[in-house]
Amino acid sequence: MGSRTFRLLILLAVAGAIAWFHFTRDTGPPAWERPLKVVIYPENADGSERARAHIESLQPERFQAVEDYMAEQAGRYGLEIEKPFILELADPITGAPTAPDYRSFWTYLQWGLRLRFWYWAFDDQGRAPDITVIARFRETGADDNLHSLGIASMNLAVANLTASESASGLNNVVLAHELLHSVGADDLYDPATGLPEYPEGYADPNRRPRYPQSIAELMAGRVPVAPGRAEQAEQLDRTIVGHATATDIGWSRPGRDRS
């Protein structure tokens, strides 16, 4: 075996170990003994003038609705702290991670390694977040190849958002969804169809008749209105955090669930 081949095998072994740790580590839900500091770092993801102007117009209270929504939902489960998250808006950044590359195991592995190295070197602007949220604004959000994501093992969320005030409601839904991923929540929809999974992905699975539902489970993201049909929830007030999600993230525990 040549030295070059040996070095390559060592590199692959190290990369594999890092990737295995990154993608399989289960950190468990937070203890919820105090609010978690969530810092939102906006990025002009497409370099457009519209995204630049939108980011410049953002005010510190822009995401207050998400903070208030999370407090309300946590209150349904009797969480002992008033607010589970405190959201803070940071200065704009550049060079945030792109969408995952699912073309093959190796490309996905490379993406995962690049993401971790980026995170190690990330300048948090001295804000020391418990959870880092990258808000990637684009002139238009209509791109099916873009994937928002939340990674609990890194306490990181990347939300692809639309640079428009008219899209603020949907942006809040996307951000809240990915924020809960970062503390251990799972998706509750079928990735092939986008339809909410029954029963966990339904806000009111015991409703009779089952359809139409009036609101969405946040981690499903869509309101089931008929068999095989669902509508995107475009405002947080059309969603709730259901029991399965509350259990995943540690809000629903013995003696705590009041929903």
213 burial level (CB within 10 Å; 0-12, 13-18, 19+) = buried
Query: Which phi and psi (to 5°) does residue 132 adopt?
Result: -100, 125
The candidate with the shortest Cα–Cα distance to 183, out of 98, 79, 104, 254, is 79
Q: In this predicted structure, what is the pLDDT of residue 9? A: 63
Read off the pLDDT of residues 162-205 as tens digits, 9 standing for 90 and up.
999 999 999 999 999 999 999 999 999 999 999 999 999 999 99
List, in order, residues 6 or more apart from 138 with CB less than 8 Å away. Answer: 45, 46, 48, 51, 146, 160, 161, 162, 163
pLDDT band at 103 (very low <50, low <70, confident <90, very high): confident
Q: What are the tens digits of pLDDT across the range 34-61?
A: 999 999 999 999 999 999 999 999 999 9
Percentage of residues of the chain with pLDDT beyond 70: 84
Tens of pLDDT, residue by residue over 203-249, are: 999 999 999 999 999 999 999 999 999 999 999 999 999 999 999 99
Count CB atoms within 10 A of the CB of residue 64: 12
Question: DSSP readout, 78-145?
Answer: T-SSS-SEEEEE---B---------SSHHHHHHHHHHHHHHHHH---TT---SEEEEEEEES----TT
Of 128, 60, 68, 65, nearest in space to 88 by CA: 60
Residue 7's pLDDT band, with cuts at 50, 70 and 90, is low
d(CA 259, CA 254): 12
Is residue 33 scored above 50 in pLDDT?
Answer: yes
Spell out the residues 6+ positions from residue 209 whose beta carbon is closer than 8 angstroms to its own.
Answer: none
Residues 111-164: tens digit of each pLDDT: 888 888 899 999 999 999 999 999 999 997 545 456 788 999 899 999 999 999
Give the three-state DSSP class for 30: coil
Please state whether the predicted TM-score (pTM) of the whole model is above 0.85: yes
Does residue 17 have a pLDDT over 60? no
